Amino acid sequence: MAIEDVLAIERLINLYGHVFDDADWDRLPELFTEDATFVVTSFGVACNGLSEIERTMRGARHPIAHFATNIVVDVEDGANHARARVKLFAPRRSGRALIGTYRDEFARTSDGWRFSRREVYLVETAWGASRAT
Per-residue HEC secondary structure of the chain comes to: CCHHHHHHHHHHHHHHHHHHHCCCHHHHHHCEEEEEEEEEHHHCEEEECHHHHHHHHHHCCCCCCCEEEEEEEEEEECCCEEEEEEEEEEECCCCCEEEEEEEEEEEEECCEEEEEEEEEEEEECCCCCCCCC
**Domains recognised in the chain with CATH numbers:** 3-124 (3.10.450.50)
Q: So what's the pLDDT on residue 81?
A: 94
Q: So what's the pLDDT on residue 111?
A: 96
Q: So what's the pLDDT on residue 89?
A: 94
- Mean pLDDT of residues grouped by 10 in the chain (133 residues)? 90 98 97 97 91 95 94 82 95 89 96 97 63 38
Q: So what's the pLDDT on residue 77?
A: 61
Query: What residues have CB less than 8 Å from 130, skipping those under 6 apart?
Result: 95
Q: So what's the pLDDT on residue 133?
A: 36
The structure's pTM equals 0.89
CA 41 to chain centroid: 14
Q: So what's the pLDDT on residue 23?
A: 96
